[in-house]
Amino acid sequence: MKRELKIFDNPKNVRRLLMVFYTSLVVLLISEFFVHMHGDFAWEEMPFFFGTYGFVSCVALIYIAKVLRMFIKRNEDHYDKG
């Protein structure tokens, strides 16, 4: 049986996608210097605040999920017992 190749099976496509991703990140970071942020607080007008805030929030969510996993994780055969 011939295996169908997907778009992400080719490493060249993955490199292209990562290049587009990193380029868009740089463009968005540079665009913060040209767009006035209308923050309610003084720290919201600092450069790269929203990017840093989003990154820190994402990392915090990952660690919160790891802690929650300790409490709600079930064994693999949890539903097979019934």
- Give the CA distances from residue 59 to residues 23, 56, 63, 65, in Å, rounded to whole numbers and listed in that order: 22, 5, 6, 10
List Cα–Cα distances, 58 to 6, 17, 34, 39, in angstroms.
29, 21, 25, 21
What is the per-residue pLDDT across 24-33, written as a single tens digit (0 to 9) for each?
999 988 888 8
Q: Is the pLDDT of residue 23 over 70?
A: yes
Flag whether the pTM goes above 0.85.
no
Instruction: Select the more confidently predicted residue: 10 or 3.
Output: 10
How much is the pLDDT for 6? Answer: 86
Residue type for 24, please?
A: S
